[in-house]
């Protein structure tokens, strides 16, 4: 319990006493929001996960791609 309180105070005091850090954390938050919520969600689906249910289907699809002209 004491060590948890120590970890909490390490982070709490650290954040409270920040100068440039606050701007940086804001920047990090905005950046992560743009990356994970907007960019990842809208533009970056995991093709193999979304289009196929099983690994067997994924393997078959890739094999088909690799041997398509043969």
Residue from the set 8, 33, 37, 44 that interacts with another protein by CB under 8 A:
44
14 CB-side CA count, 13 A? 7
Q: Is 8 in the site for another protein (CB under 8 A)?
A: no
Q: Which of 31, 33, 37, 57 binds another protein (CB under 8 A)?
A: 31
Spatial separation of the C-alpha atoms in residues 59 and 65, rounded to whole Å: 10
33 touches another protein by CB under 8 A: no
Give Cβ neighbours of residue 25 (< 8 Å, ≥ 6 apart).
Answer: 15, 18
Mark residues 45-64: x for contact with another protein by CB under 8 A, - for none.
Answer: xxxxx-----x--xx--xx-
């Amino acid at each position: 319990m004491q060590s948890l309180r120590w970890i909490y105070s390490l982070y709490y005091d650290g954040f409270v006493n920040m100068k440039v850090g606050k701007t940086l954390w804001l920047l990090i938050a905005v950046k992560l929001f743009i990356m994970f919520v907007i960019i990842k969600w809208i533009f970056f689906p995991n093709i193999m996960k979304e289009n196929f249910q099983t690994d067997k289907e994924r393997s078959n699809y890739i094999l088909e791609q690799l041997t398509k002209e043969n």
